[in-house]
Structure 1
Amino acid sequence: MKYWLFLALATVAEVFATSALKASDGFTRLGPTLVVVIGYAIAFYFLSLSLKQIPLGIAYAVWAGLGIVLIAVIGWWLYDQKLDPAAMLGIALILAGVMVINLFSRSSGH
């Protein structure tokens, strides 16, 4: 279970780092740029720890899938970026795929 916690921490750190990319204004603002660099360092560290137990393909699918969903929500919430019905359907399918992996796959290392 701790490896899934590592993966969750990696995902949260990646979401913070990716969110700060927009605020960094092309790495011209120091504070957000530091959040990007530190966030990605933390994300990759915890992702590497999760890979001790969780298969690479599964870990990456969950990490990327949840990251996409969370970043889309943050973009909508913080930056007023619109999501049309096709985007919402695609995001729902990504989330469904992550859930299928975690609930039904024997490959997920549970």
Structure 2
Amino acid sequence: MLINWVYLLAAILFEVLGTTCMKLSEGFNNLIPSILIFVFYGCGFTFSTLALEKLDISFAYSIWSGLGTALIASIGIIWFRESMSLVKFASIALIIMGVIGINASK
């Protein structure tokens, strides 16, 4: 069961890397990030599939999407210098609380 958690965390990491490469590709104009989008998403979906072998889909997907969203928003703010506002911060916090709520109901 621990390996399924490792798979899920790997899936999240690869999804975040793929999404970051979308931004870096500048509309598929930069070759390396454009190629890496497909590599990272392929790895992400592979690891998601492996994680779902033993984890409940509602549980795994809520963690995958919630943590992925929070990480991408953080990368946008820190790396790409996107604006940070109280509303954006509160929205990220609500996503995390929603994931906790879904998993607490298990």
- Show the counterpart of 2:57: 56
- Residue correspondence of structure 1 range 2-81 to structure 2 within 5 A: 2-81=3-82
Displacement after TM superposition at 1:97 (Å): 2.4
- Measured in 2, the distance between the counterparts of 1:18 and 1:75 equals 10
Alignment deviations for residues 16-61 of structure 1 (CA, whole Å, 9 cap, x no partner): 0101101101112111011111000000000000110111122111
Could you tell me the TM-score, scaled by structure 1's length? 0.88
Q: Distance in 2 between matches of 1:47 and 1:83?
A: 30
Tell me, in whole angstroms, the C-alpha distance in 2 between the residues paired with 1:101 and 1:47.
Answer: 18
1:83 paired residue number = 84
Q: CA RMSD in A?
A: 1.2
Q: CA deviation at 1:83?
A: 2.0
* Residue identity opposite 1:7 in structure 2: L
Query: Which letter maps to 1:80?
Result: R
Q: Distance in 1 between matches of 2:4 and 2:31?
A: 32
What is the identity, as a one-letter code, of the residue corresponding to 1:58? F
Question: If the length of structure 2 is used for normalisation, what is the TM-score?
Answer: 0.92
Local SS of the residue matching 2:53: coil
C-alpha separation between the residues in 1 aligned to 2:71 and 2:59?
Answer: 18
Query: What are the ranges of 5 or more consecutive residues in structure 1 without an aligned counterpart?
Result: none
Identity across the alignment (%): 35
